[in-house]
Amino acid sequence: MTVPLIELKNVTKRFGERTVLDRVNLTILEGDITTIIGKSGGGKSVLLKHIIGLLKPDEGEILINGKHLKDMTRNERTLFKRQASYMFQNNALFDSLTVFENIALPLREKTRLREDAIKSKVLAKIDQMELSEVAYKYPSQISGGMQKRVALARALVTEPKIILFDEPTTGLDPLRKNAVLGLIAHHQKKIGFTAVLVSHDIPDVFFISNRVAIIDSCRIPFQGTPIELEQSENPVVQEFIKGQTNLKDELTGLNTRQDVKDMLIQEMDRVNRLQESFPVIIFTIDNLEQINKHVGYIAAQQIVQCLGTLLKDHFDSAGTSARYSQNEILMVLPHTDPKEAKQVLDELAIDLQKQEIFKAKSYPKACFSFSILAGLAEAGPGMDLDSLIGQALSHQKIIAHLECIKHGGTA
């Protein structure tokens, strides 16, 4: 078995009372691009700083080529540091040095290259990063994206064997983001360095990674190849992969399917015990997929968002609503009288029809007919979840509708 280049064993780090890393295990193999993903403030940067030696673990050990970091001699540690390079999250550029001087600094200080050799090397890197126009400007005079590229150039210029990238693409526009990821992958293939990347760019970053590690709740619950990640049934992994869908739900103000399911089970339990009943309403947006496809993603999202907001306004805290499927929203109204719910639903229908999303002029280029349907069912004792939802679906009626004269044209 090959010895991993870097191995973290049961590394624990605390800052005062707060534990940032809790018995973390991580293996980094030589020549691989290992990506660490996780929530902001989850200890990703702290993990990277342990690898480069900026922070020391409170417990646990770090092994470099199978040798404990703390047992390494000063010379061995210096040698490791010289082979490694670190790109900081906030770039950490020397603000009193120009872009050129920043990139040249590690060469000037740590190599015996002649000034003209340094100059040609640095200029080549500047050219590659498209920074020629700002070569003699100071970091504060250039944009955030450019600063990121300067930091990247500084990390690459010494051609190190290990590069630790702390969020190399954060703050870049989508085009440059892909360019930077491409650049890392390209350099890695050319020079063959080992890269450890902290990133939020899911899934783009997976395409260039050999291994992925997820850091969550101070630990690493998963590490493996991107394909293993995709096929993993670990709930934490699933949460990260579906992070984008979750974000959508945050924006629409709706709960997750699991939340409402849990609540429904709890309420059914109560109903069975107390022999009571409560209403549930299921809303369906028909044609949502077509709108997504032909009109656009933002338009489809706005329809869901609008419905979510109105549900909150009308039912206030009486109910819980959640995205039940791509185009279905389930609303549970415990402690509500079904008649009252019906009345509020009627008011909602009137209000909904007045919304901008139901006006054809909101879609100047392409308009698609669509309706919102709502079905109310009463959850009583002895009913199961599926039959309740089935009943609500069968009671569905159109509560708001937009008619376009022809598909793809304006009404």
Interface residues with another protein (CB under 8 A) are 49, 52-54, 78, 81-82, 84-86, 88, 90, 92-96, 105-106, 109-110
Closer residue to another protein (CB): 126 or 157: 157
In angstroms, what is the minimal distance from the CB of 222 to another protein?
A: 28
In the β-sheet with 18-28, what is the strand arrangement from edge to edge? 18-28, 6-15, 59-64, 67-68
Q: For the beta carbon of residue 340, count every other beta carbon within 10 angstroms.
A: 12
Q: Token match 């409170």: residue?
A: 58
Residue type (1 letter), 250? E
Q: How far is the CB of 31 from another protein (least distance, A)?
A: 21
- What is the arrangement of strands in the sheet containing 33-38, beginning at the earlier edge strand? 84-87, 162-166, 194-198, 33-38, 211-216, 219-224
Q: Are 205 and 199 in contact (CB under 8 A)?
A: yes
Closer by beta carbon to another protein, 85 or else 284: 85
Shortest Å distance, C-beta 200 to another protein? 19
Element housing 165 (H / E): strand 162-166
Smallest distance, another protein to C-beta of residue 80, A:
9
- DSSP-derived secondary structure letter, 53: T
Between 51 and 310, name the residue whose CB sits nearer to another protein: 51
- Which residue's CB is nearer to another protein, number 146 or number 333? 146
Name the amino acid, one letter, at 399: I
Give the separation between CA 252 and CA 408, rounded to whole angstroms: 26
Residue closer to another protein by CB (options 54, 411) is 54
Minimum distance of another protein from residue 131's CB (angstroms)? 18
Min dist CB 199 to another protein, Å, is 19
Distance of CA 4 to the CA centre of its chain: 28
In the bound state with another protein, the residue whose beta carbon lies nearer, of 155 and 399, is 155
Nearest to residue 322, comparing CAs of 229, 224, 389, 232?
389
